[in-house]
Homo-oligomer: A and B are copies of this chain.
């Protein structure tokens, strides 16, 4: 977060907890600048943002006054971990999920339920230049050389990014895939057999449930905290009871919660699983979308013996539609490569070359900085609109990265019904029940703030809030 955003968040917190009340005068810009050790322009920017959100108002000559909670204040944070049923469950979720998701695909719908950020956030023209030059100069033999595990140069560039984040990952354990989803599926196939139990978070990414269902695996949903991720005590109990063959977890900016496991938790996770010889399939597709100063290390960073299969892609941070991802599959790299060879053979050669070229000299880090700043800002604006428009008793996560808010509406609101109603108003949302094998989270929804904030999105959130308020 930028300095002014910190200041906005702090003043919001003071308004929320009643320290600042309607009518109170804020300290002057100069005084705040002095007391916080920031520039006057930072304070101006923060005050401007708070004013735009209807939380404070400038009066001529006399400074800034608090308008109170009537302004756009983000809702209080979600704080209670989920409490899934302690069972291993055979799945039948896919059809249901498809019905919900396909409704969000139309361009005409305000895509609050979308799984993707706005494609306008990405340097597609610049990428296109690399694609153009790589396609025109494609060495015919590269169509053979770049077969799975993939282009040597792309794997080297990926390994270099790990290195820049302080991790030693050999290009030898990297398998290039058609996006992270294929990587995750291949890893799951590499470490499980029909009928095995697999641990997932609760709520969890629906594609994990769909993969388990397709492969005849059982889901064990484990309690997960909206800020800190999976509950490790609950995880240990689940291991004892269900003897799972694998875990499939998102340790960083989990979908849908946005939770980020603290580093010590990630270390303990890796230790616990290593002790039980259980492979961890780590879905880290949002890892580059952090708002802090540095990338939170994935669990893979603490893996001493190759039991973590780290999966990611460029789809959410650089190149949507290119379908280039990878698995760093540790001791399972050979099995994953073999599975890739027998399921889709290889990943598009021109795409691999284009990305390798872009990573080398396209300006990836500069693009990422801009992308992260943009998403952090949008989170603030969307969260404030939720606080403003949604019914009293609404809670929301405030993730430190990614582009999802997880909204808990008051008990009794049925988000599947809300989804159907909202669609009739041209708005999509991702209702809570699609993120669970057992259909819980009926009063929850996932909200995508990765699209431009504009009149349409503001109106959509207002409509959603009204529908949710009218809800029984």
Residues of B within 8 A of A127 (CB): 135
Asked if A162 is an interface residue, CB under 8 A from chain B, the answer is no
For the complex, what is the distance from the CA of A119 to the CA of B143, rounded to whole Å? 7
Residues of B within 8 A of A194 (CB): 194, 216
Residue of B nearest to A193 (CB): B216
For the complex, what is the distance from the CA of A354 to the CA of B142, rounded to whole Å? 18
Q: List 8 extra interface pairs beyond A131-B131, A207-B342, A343-B343, CB under 8 A.
A: A98-B338, A124-B140, A127-B135, A129-B136, A131-B350, A143-B320, A178-B348, A182-B345
Q: Can you list 8 A-B contacts with CB-CB less than 8 angstroms, sorted by A residue number?
A: A105-B144, A125-B136, A142-B321, A178-B178, A181-B343, A189-B214, A323-B349, A324-B348
Residues of B within 8 A of A128 (CB): 135-138, 350
Asked if A146 is an interface residue, CB under 8 A from chain B, the answer is yes
| B345 and A179 contact, CB distance less than 8 A | yes
Residues of B within 8 A of A210 (CB): 342
Residues of B within 8 A of A136 (CB): 125, 128-129, 131-132
Nearest CB of B to A180, in Å: 9
For the complex, what is the distance from the CA of A345 to the CA of B101, rounded to whole Å? 12
Q: Select one of B107, B122, B322 contacting A348, CB under 8 A.
A: B322
Residues in A lying within 8 Å of B, measured CB to CB? 94-95, 98, 105, 107, 116, 118-120, 122, 124-125, 127-129, 131-133, 135-138, 140-147, 177-179, 181-182, 185, 189, 194, 207, 210-211, 214, 216, 320-324, 338-339, 341-351, 354
Residues of B within 8 A of A341 (CB): 98
For the complex, what is the distance from the CA of A217 to the CA of B141, rounded to whole Å? 35
Q: Which of A127, A342, A349, A351 has the most CB of B within 10 A?
A: A342
Residue of B nearest to A353 (CB): B321
For the complex, what is the distance from the CA of A338 to the CA of B124, rounded to whole Å? 27
For the complex, what is the distance from the CA of A216 to the CA of B215, rounded to whole Å? 10
Residues of B within 8 A of A132 (CB): 131-133, 135-136
For the complex, what is the distance from the CA of A177 to the CA of B323, rounded to whole Å? 12
Q: Select one of B107, B342, B345, B349 contacting A144, CB under 8 A.
A: B107
Q: Which of A144, A147, A177, A211 has the most CB of B within 10 A?
A: A144
| A119 and B105 contact, CB distance less than 8 A | no
For the complex, what is the distance from the CA of A323 to the CA of B321, rounded to whole Å? 14
| B342 and A323 contact, CB distance less than 8 A | no
For the complex, what is the distance from the CA of A32 to the CA of B210, rounded to whole Å? 68
Known: A136-B125, A214-B339, A342-B207. A141 touches B350 (CB 8 A): no
For the complex, what is the distance from the CA of A105 to the CA of B207, rounded to whole Å? 34
Nearest CB of B to A320, in Å: 4
| A348 and B345 contact, CB distance less than 8 A | no
For the complex, what is the distance from the CA of A405 to the CA of B207, rounded to whole Å? 43
For the complex, what is the distance from the CA of A350 to the CA of B216, rounded to whole Å? 34
Q: Which of A98, A127, A131, A343 has the most CB of B within 10 A?
A: A343
